[in-house]
């Protein structure tokens, strides 16, 4: 099984960006942790980050046929992007939405995510552990594919 992990805008700055909100780990640290988790779950990982909405849309389109599930932290695009919503819907793959911070505890504009309604599950507030938990949930979902 192959999982595409997508990280949205500004997540390349993790480690230095508002560490009180997002922690001191870098995206590379999160990638290393995800790779270890994926290996234990016997899942192949494709781990990417982009600051560009259209690039994320293209990657989601390409996932159809090349990946079995998508883990996405859409970052700020969660709250704005109908295009990412539509692409995920079209991809027709199980989607796990992850946020490092608890978006419901923060500004009102972060309370709604366009991705959540097309996600199999949503995890927020547990920092990088959310990525690990989401990978486990997706691996489990793929193992027992009833839909
Ligand atoms: C985030 C939460 C978003 O509101 C924010 O725009 C981000 C990161 C998170 O992981 O907590 O960039 O997705």
Question: b/e string for 53-76 if b means 16 or more Cβ within 10 A?
Answer: beebbebbeebeeebbbbbbbbbe
Average pLDDT rounded to a whole number, residues 39-50: 98
Q: In CATH, what number is assigned to the domain containing residue 34?
A: 3.40.50.9100
Question: What per-residue confidence (pLDDT) applies to 146?
Answer: 61
120 is catalytic: no
User: Is 124 a member of any domain?
Assistant: no
User: Is 128 a member of any domain?
Assistant: no
- What is the rounded CA–CA span in Å between residue 118 and residue 20? 29
d(CA 3, ligand 1 centre) in Å: 21
The residue range of the domain holding 99 is 2-116+133-143
| pTM (two decimals) | 0.96
Best mutation site among 103, 106, 109, 134 for ligand 1, i.e. most ligand atoms within 8 A of its Cβ?
103
22 is catalytic: yes
The proportion of the chain whose per-residue pLDDT surpasses 90, expressed as a percent, equals: 93
Average pLDDT rounded to a whole number, residues 119-145: 96
Using the predicted structure, report yes or no on whether residue 49 has a pLDDT greater than 60: yes
User: Is 69 a member of any domain?
Assistant: yes
Average pLDDT rounded to a whole number, residues 5-25: 94
Question: In the chain, how many domains are there?
Answer: 1
Query: Who's near 39: CB < 8 A, 6+ residues apart?
Result: none
Whole-number average pLDDT of the chain: 96
Question: What per-residue confidence (pLDDT) applies to 143?
Answer: 92
Which atom in ligand 1 lies closest to the alpha carbon of residue 101?
A: 11
User: Is 39 a member of any domain?
Assistant: yes
Model confidence over 81-130: pLDDT tens digits? 999 999 999 999 999 999 999 999 999 999 999 999 999 999 999 999 99
């Amino acid at each position: 099984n192959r999982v595409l992990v997508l990280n949205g805008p500004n997540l390349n700055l993790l480690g230095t960006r508002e560490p009180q909100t997002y922690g001191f780990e870098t995206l590379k640290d999160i990638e290393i942790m995800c790779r270890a988790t994926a290996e234990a779950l016997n899942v192949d990982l494709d781990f990417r980050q982009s600051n560009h909405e259209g690039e994320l849309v293209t990657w989601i389109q390409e996932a159809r046929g090349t990946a079995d599930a998508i883990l996405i932290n859409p970052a700020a695009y969660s709250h704005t992007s109908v295009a990412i919503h539509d692409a995920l819907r079209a991809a027709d793959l199980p989607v796990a939405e992850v946020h490092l911070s608890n978006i419901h505890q923060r500004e009102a504009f972060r309370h709604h995510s366009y991705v959540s309604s097309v996600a199999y599950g949503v995890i927020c507030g547990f920092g990088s552990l959310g990525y690990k938990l989401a990978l486990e949930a997706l691996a489990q979902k793929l193992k027992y594919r009833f839909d």
